[in-house]
Amino acid sequence: MTLKATPLNSAHRAANAKMVDFGGWDMPVNYGSQIEEHNAVRSDAGMFDVSHMCVVDVKGANVRTFLRGLLANNVDKLQVPGKALYSCMLNPEGGVIDDLIVYFLSEEWFRIVVNAGTAEKDVAWMNQQNTATSSGVTITPRRDGNDPIALIAVQGPNARAKVWQVLPTTQAPSENLKPFNAVIVPDTAFGEAMIARTGYTGEDGFEIGVPASQAEALWNAFVAVGIKPAGLGARDTLRLEAGMNLYGQDMDDSVNPLDAGLAWTIDLVSERDFIGKAALQAKGQGAQFVGLILREKGGILRAHQKVVAASGLEGEITSGTFSPSMQQAIALARVPMDVAIGDTVHVIIRDKRLAASVVKLPFVRNGKVLAA
């Protein structure tokens, strides 16, 4: 099978990145030391190629009404142009088709960024619902054809200052940009850019969309001002420390988002109906999504390890790693409802029962360890 390549593939190879198959995409897992890449994001600035993710423009007179029914979070929260919203898109059974970010750009233009591995499924589902509801919106993926957009995430305490060295025209419109807001700047040296103050690391920074033809030049300019390239390995340890779900690992279309710690993204209060709402109301929450810190030596916490509560009821780790920031084994886990923050549970690692503490997420945010 031929792997798909992002517009930055040659830049990764020129930097001697270790490339891997990531859901059918040829992606860098690291450029040398994964730990150094992780620490650069926590202490300075690092950047990630996220062009395998897919920008989808949804336009039309009925776009807001269409998204009211499509998404579990309520797009009516988006009233100021540039404001963004994190949401799940659910199937009728209440399972998560994908988690995504939607940006309100105008009353007839919303931009959605969906995950790499689910993009084709997501767009097909959107088109199906567009037809079923006769909404008449246009749904345009911007990853391959259709004037493709490349995405670069620059994250860390010095991320914004270093971005402005390369993109000075973005400083004025983005300097006072609040988290989960975006601005489109039409006249950068790298073409039209969407600058979003969002990320997947628990640090400040931007996710930047530019024409794919300009991506490598922008990437190299960021390298020149000291922004360290980082691969999938560091991205995973950073997001896990930040308590952020990974689609396909922490939830999927068989998982109720209430059981994935995503209740805050689900609007069950308003009278608005959306796909999956009735199923969520009928099922309710059946498990808790928590953090675990291993308290005994003898292993690393990994996905699918069994978690045993004091009551004897069982749960499961969904993601686990050794935290570079904490120097401890940590995990995200779905556990029984009778488990409380501060409890001790036991994880089965190679037939051994090792004690772990239940902690509130996130583990790390803005360079500070919050759970110990």
Whether 156 is covered by a domain: the verdict is yes
Q: Of 56, 57, 172, which is closest to residue 106 (Cα–Cα)? A: 57
**Separation CA 76–CA 73 (nearest Å):** 9
Task: For residues 151 and 236, state if they share a domain.
Answer: yes
The whole-number pLDDT of residue 1 equals 77
Kindly give the residue spans of alpha helices, DSSP state H, lying in 48-143: 63-70, 119-133
* Local mean pLDDT, 10-residue blocks, the chain (372 residues): 95 98 97 98 98 98 98 98 98 98 98 97 98 98 91 98 98 97 98 98 98 98 98 98 98 97 96 98 97 94 98 98 98 98 97 96 96 82
Task: For residues 47 and 164, state if they share a domain.
Answer: yes
Whether 266 is covered by a domain: the verdict is no
Please check whether residue 113 is in contact with residue 53, taking contact to mean a CB–CB distance below 8 angstroms: yes
DSSP character at residue 107: T
**Separation CA 166–CA 163 (nearest Å):** 5
Task: For residues 214 and 75, state if they share a domain.
Answer: no
Task: For residues 36 and 65, state if they share a domain.
Answer: no
Whether 308 is covered by a domain: the verdict is yes
| DSSP helix/strand/coil, 83 | strand
Q: Of 329, 336, 327, which is closest to residue 306 (Cα–Cα)? A: 336
Q: Is 121 left (phi over 0), alpha (psi -120 to 50) or beta?
A: alpha
Whether 292 is covered by a domain: the verdict is yes
Which of 78, 111, 141 terminates a domain? The answer is 141
Q: What is the number of alpha carbons within 13 Å of residue 134 lying toward its C-beta?
A: 0
Whether 261 is covered by a domain: the verdict is no
Domain region containing 185: 9-52+146-240
Task: For residues 169 and 99, state if they share a domain.
Answer: no
Task: For residues 204 and 215, state if they share a domain.
Answer: yes
For the chain, state the CA radius of gyration: 21
Whether 264 is covered by a domain: the verdict is no
Q: Concatenate the DSSP letters of all residues of 20-31 into one string.
A: EEETTEEEEEES
Residue in the structure block whose two tokens are 């009211």: 68
The whole-number pLDDT of residue 330 equals 98
| DSSP helix/strand/coil, 117 | coil
The whole-number pLDDT of residue 146 equals 75
Domain with residue 205: its CATH number is 3.30.1360.120
Domain with residue 62: its CATH number is 3.30.70.1400
Task: For residues 90 and 27, state if they share a domain.
Answer: no
Which of 120, 141, 162 terminates a domain? The answer is 141
**Separation CA 165–CA 75 (nearest Å):** 34
Whether 256 is covered by a domain: the verdict is no
Task: For residues 86 and 215, state if they share a domain.
Answer: no
**Separation CA 138–CA 226 (nearest Å):** 40
Which of 141, 175, 191 terminates a domain? The answer is 141
Task: For residues 208 and 224, state if they share a domain.
Answer: yes
Amino acid letter, residue 252: D
Whether 368 is covered by a domain: the verdict is yes
Kindly give the residue spans of alpha helices, DSSP state H, lying in the chain: 9-14, 34-43, 63-70, 119-133, 159-166, 171-174, 215-224, 232-241, 277-283
What are residue 230's phi and psi, to 5 degrees?
A: -135, 145
| Bridge partner residues of 150 (DSSP) | 210
Task: For residues 229 and 341, state if they share a domain.
Answer: no
Domain with residue 368: its CATH number is 2.40.30.110
Q: Of 47, 48, 45, 67, which is closest to residue 58 (Cα–Cα)? A: 67
Q: How many domains are there within the chain?
A: 3
Task: For residues 167 and 293, state if they share a domain.
Answer: no
Task: For residues 180 and 315, state if they share a domain.
Answer: no
